[in-house]
């Protein structure tokens, strides 16, 4: 791999860190509130189960709508963790991932009385007044989520900006709920059926990823880093950050007009192909050369447009891979492309936490069979979604719990492949990676040789 250039002020975080702990009283009060919510939801579940039992024989299953409504009622921390869990096909069956993927941030925009103090503290009274007045004139934010809202404003100096403002008090709310989840994870790990399963580690990793989205200063650095990395990638745009208009809980970027979700029929064939290649090459550049993973490239953060262009926005869930994880992922991708199943199995085993009774020989045999079944398949027909689903299913059945530093790059590509197949299904997904992968591996080899001399 290419060793990233020195970027002391723009280095994206790895998946680590600690969530500050609250005192016993806030946690106790919140636990009581959660208990009340769950009591009400269980009453609802009882009614649904009874009605279901009357309509059909057999043991009724709770409907997905009940699960989603319950998670939503529990609050933004639970929604965010469940949303991330929906991408972890290595941990949950596909049908559960699909159900959780239907979760959305069901929140109202911040009223002006909450917006103004945050803006005044970070940007000053005059700028805050301009943004609030224009937000009212435009009918509120252009986007609204559990953690933040985004507002458009034209400043007196002529700059057209997008201002992302963190919700007041959301830090304390997430901190308490994530603390409760982590403690519950530690307790679950002692249950007989869960011994050997890294429940606490999994919940801790998900919690850290959610809590990191509160750090707007880090997201600012992520955006600057993405823009720098992709500066020479043709057809790729990342909004510029207005450093002088950022502060505690406020991130200001250039407003990119014309961004909207487009369907394939809204672009010409050449535009579709060019835009998809631009996005795909950008992701391969980040993964193989820079060890950077944008974990949230869904259609709300990736826009394909006219002129064969791709625009990437929102870098709140972006992580830097360790050099070890970067090497392992690149090796797996390479061995997969050349059909070396035994080597792929070695890589997975070296990056996963095994269960005490894991059948390593059985796991190796299934991985080899999986790789062989995809070797020789025409590149344009290679289905990463099917491949990854089978890979995660094998890991799950053999109780191998993957390090997210290895899983997140695959999941990032899975999200992107849906767009690739929709807009340009004939693109050779694997072939497009080879130049980036080969160049990165050669550069890494040369660098290691240089270090040894």
What are the tens digits of pLDDT across the range 112-149? Answer: 778 889 999 999 999 999 999 998 888 888 888 888 88
Mutual orientation of helices 64-74 and 76-85 as an angle, nearest 10°? Answer: 130
Helix (H) or strand (E) holding 22: none
Which residues on adjacent β-strands are paired with residue 148? 166
Task: Name the residue with tokens 């009385």.
Answer: 113
Mutual orientation of helices 384-397 and 360-374 as an angle, nearest 10°? Answer: 170
Strand, helix or coil for residue 426: coil
DSSP-derived letter for residue 267 is S
**What was the pLDDT predicted at 40?**
93
Q: In this structure, what token pair is assigned to residue 418? A: 């849906």
Which residues of the chain are modeled with pLDDT < 70?
1-18, 22, 53-63, 87-91, 104-106, 192-198, 355-356, 376-380, 453
**What was the pLDDT predicted at 196?**
57
- The beta strand positions in 334-383, using DSSP E, are 352-354
Is the separation of the CB atoms in 255 and 162 below 8 Å? yes
Residue 63: Cβ within 10 Å count: 14
Q: How far apart are CA 249 and CA 121, in angstroms?
A: 9
Q: How far apart are CA 115 and CA 142, in angstroms?
A: 14
pTM, 2 dp: 0.77
Q: How far apart are CA 261 and CA 275, in angstroms?
A: 13
**What was the pLDDT predicted at 62?**
56
Closest CA to 79 of 98, 57, 107, 120: 107
Q: What are the φ/ψ torsions at residue 353 (nearest 5 degrees)?
A: -95, 115
Residue 435: Cβ within 10 Å count: 12
Helix (H) or strand (E) holding 150: strand 148-154
Q: In this structure, what token pair is assigned to residue 282? A: 């950008």
Question: In terms of DSSP H, where are the helices of 124-240?
Answer: 125-137, 170-188, 199-212, 216-229
Closest CA to 316 of 237, 253, 232: 253
């Amino acid at each position: 791999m290419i060793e990233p250039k020195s970027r002391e002020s723009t280095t994206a975080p790895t998946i680590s860190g600690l969530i500050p702990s609250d005192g016993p009283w806030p946690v106790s009060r919140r636990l009581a509130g959660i208990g009340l919510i769950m009591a009400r939801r269980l009453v609802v579940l009882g009614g649904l189960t009874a009605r279901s039992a009357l309509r059909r024989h057999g043991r009724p299953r709770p409907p997905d709508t009940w699960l989603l409504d319950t998670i939503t009622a529990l609050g933004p921390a639970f929604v965010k963790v469940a949303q991330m869990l929906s991408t972890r096909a290595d941990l949950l069956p596909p049908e559960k991932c699909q159900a959780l993927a239907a979760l959305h941030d069901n929140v109202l925009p911040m009223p002006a009385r909450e917006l103004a103090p945050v803006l005044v503290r970070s940007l000053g009274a005059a700028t805050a007044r301009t943004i609030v007045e224009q937000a009212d004139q435009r009918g509120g934010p252009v986007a609204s989520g559990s953690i933040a809202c985004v507002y458009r404003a034209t400043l007196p100096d002529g700059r057209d900006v997008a201002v992302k403002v963190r919700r007041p008090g959301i830090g304390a709310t997430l901190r308490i709920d994530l603390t409760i989840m982590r403690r519950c994870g530690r307790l679950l790990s002692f249950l007989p059926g869960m011994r050997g399963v890294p429940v606490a580690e999994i919940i801790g990793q998900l919690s850290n990823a959610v809590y990191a989205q509160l750090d707007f200063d880090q997201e600012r650095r992520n955006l600057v880093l993405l823009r720098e990395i992709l500066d020479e990638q043709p057809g790729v745009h990342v909004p510029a950050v207005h450093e002088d208009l950022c502060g505690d809980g406020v991130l200001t970027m250039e407003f990119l007009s014309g961004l909207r979700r487009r369907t394939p029929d809204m672009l010409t064939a050449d535009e579709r192909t060019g835009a998809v290649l631009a996005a795909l090459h950008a992701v391969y550049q980040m993964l193989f050369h820079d060890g950077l993973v944008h974990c949230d490239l869904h259609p709300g953060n990736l826009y394909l447009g006219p002129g064969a262009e791709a625009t990437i926005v929102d870098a709140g869930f972006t992580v830097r891979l360790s050099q070890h994880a970067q090497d392992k992922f690149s090796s797996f991708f390479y061995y997969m492309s050349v059909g070396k199943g035994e080597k792929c199995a070695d890589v997975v085993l070296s990056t996963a936490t095994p269960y005490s009774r894991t059948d390593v020989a059985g796991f190796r045999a299934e991985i080899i069979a999986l790789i062989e079944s995809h070797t020789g398949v025409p590149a344009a027909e290679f289905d990463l979604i099917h491949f990854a689903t089978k890979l995660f299913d094998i890991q799950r059945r053999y109780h191998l719990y993957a390090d997210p530093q290895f899983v997140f790059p695959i999941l990032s590509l899975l999200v992107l492949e849906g767009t690739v197949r929709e807009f340009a299904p004939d693109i050779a997904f694997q072939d497009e990676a080879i130049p980036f992968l080969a160049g990165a591996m050669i550069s890494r080899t040369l660098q290691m040789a240089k270090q040894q001399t």
